[in-house]
A and B are shown apart, each in its own frame.
Chain A
Amino acid sequence: MSTRTITLQVNGKTVTAAVEPRLHLADFLRDRQLLTGTHIGCEHGVCGACTLEIDGAPARSCITYAATCDGASVRTIEDFDADPVMAELRAAFSAEHALQCGYCTPGMLATARDIVLRLPQADEARIRKELSGNLCRCTGYVGIVRAIKRVLAARKEKTHAA
């Protein structure tokens, strides 16, 4: 089987690589780009650990093949250091004990950031619904839900004050 040459943006940098079509994006990022912040859990699209951003929207990198990402812009957890929403989420995750082992956390943060930006009015029920595609086996979700609520509330207050 032949390889394909792809060119894509990874965390703002242009990357050109030859890939086997069967190589999924998470393996491409971890093994070829050495970006190990993207975690692989179930590897069939159920657990959400590998969730990252493709062209500005969250997606599962384990069931997305690198070959299909030619021309795409991919952002992994490593690219969000300077992101203001992610900074608020990191602080809230720490304050609310929203992680223990940390395996689900990169995917949780990718989904959490999408909730904060897309659904600023989300209540607890909506947050839980939106989080249902990301599994956490440590926390029981309570801390994660609280962390997202905390960020949403703080941002609402800021909007009112402004």
Chain B
Amino acid sequence: MKAAAFDYEKPADVAAAVKLLSGAQGMGKVIAGGQSLGPMLNLRLAQPQLLVDVRGIAEMCAVTETPEALTIGACVTHARIEDGKLPDATRGLLPAVAADIAYRAVRNRGTLGGSLAHADPAADWVNTLALLDAVAILQGPAGRRELKVTEFMHGPFATALAEDELLVAVRIARLSKAARWGYYKFCRKTGEFAEAIGAMLVDPERKVCRAVVGATTSVPHVVADARAIAERFMPDEALKAVEAAGLGDDPYERQMHFAALKRAAARMHGGGS
């Protein structure tokens, strides 16, 4: 199908983009890579009156680092992350996750911020950034605000973004050298959205031990103290985490998420899949 008619603007900075969104009075939509919004427009699931293309905003394509953190502009593509073009603040987690998102033709255009703002529960960045306890940086007419990614996403395809607010960047705390991670996803076909995601991170120097039950029916389920799953995989504790993730009663769903956690743990400890 063809998209319904819309107007198109490509502002040069964040302030101009926010102004355009304010003027659209709720009928504006931000587009970056367009790899999720494009299909939705073509299928007429989305019918905005105005598309605001943010790829021309230099700040949103920038990557900056401090000793403590890496800030990634919302318009940084999956391919740029996959190809190791960013400083490695996550001991290889971001490139490894990026490499398995959809297909290269999609990764060349799709962006980190676009994926997070789209808030598909099965998307890799939604779950990875929750694992990393990343911070979303938003800008609206009243200025900037910061939110934990876990507070940014409210539900499936629902976020804290106001109609005239823009996701500008994501900040990730730098992992220590002792940090280890494991990530596993089940997809019915290579490159498709995941049926289940299991992810964990142990960073003793920063006193972080987190796990994520991902690709749920809503927000990622974060286990903030995951010692009983991540340091040593205890099946009963993993089952509790899966139960708490609100997946419903389907035993197949539960088993898949349990297995994803188990395999993520095995990968983290250097075992096979």
Contact = CB atoms under 8 A, between A and B. Distances in A.
B155 interface: no
Contacts of B189: 132
Contacts of B3: 22, 24, 65
Interface string A65-82: 101101000000000000
A130 interface: yes
Interface residues of B, number: 31
Contacts of A4: 8
Contacts of B91: none
Contacts of A1: 5-7
A133 interface: yes
B53 A44 contact: no
B171 to A, nearest CB: 27
B39 interface: yes
A14 interface: no
Contacts, number: 97
Interface in A1-34: 1-2, 4, 20-22, 24, 27
Contacts of B6: 1, 21-22
Interface in B15-40: 31, 34-35, 38-39
Contacts of A68: 8, 10, 31, 34, 53, 55
Interface string A41-66: 00111101001001001111011110
Nearest to A1: B5
B178 interface: no
Interface in B40-87: 41-43, 51, 53, 55, 79
A1 B109 CA distance: 26
B105 A22 contact: no
A114 interface: yes
Given A4-B8, A68-B55, A132 B38 contact: no
Interface of B: 1-8, 10, 31, 34-35, 38-39, 41-43, 51, 53, 55, 79, 102-106, 108-109, 189-191
14 contacts: A1-B5, A22-B2, A22-B41, A44-B42, A45-B39, A45-B106, A46-B39, A59-B108, A67-B8, A68-B8, A68-B55, A70-B10, A114-B104, A132-B191
Interface of A: 1-2, 4, 20-22, 24, 27, 43-46, 48, 51, 54, 57-60, 62-65, 67-68, 70, 110-111, 114, 118, 128-130, 132-134
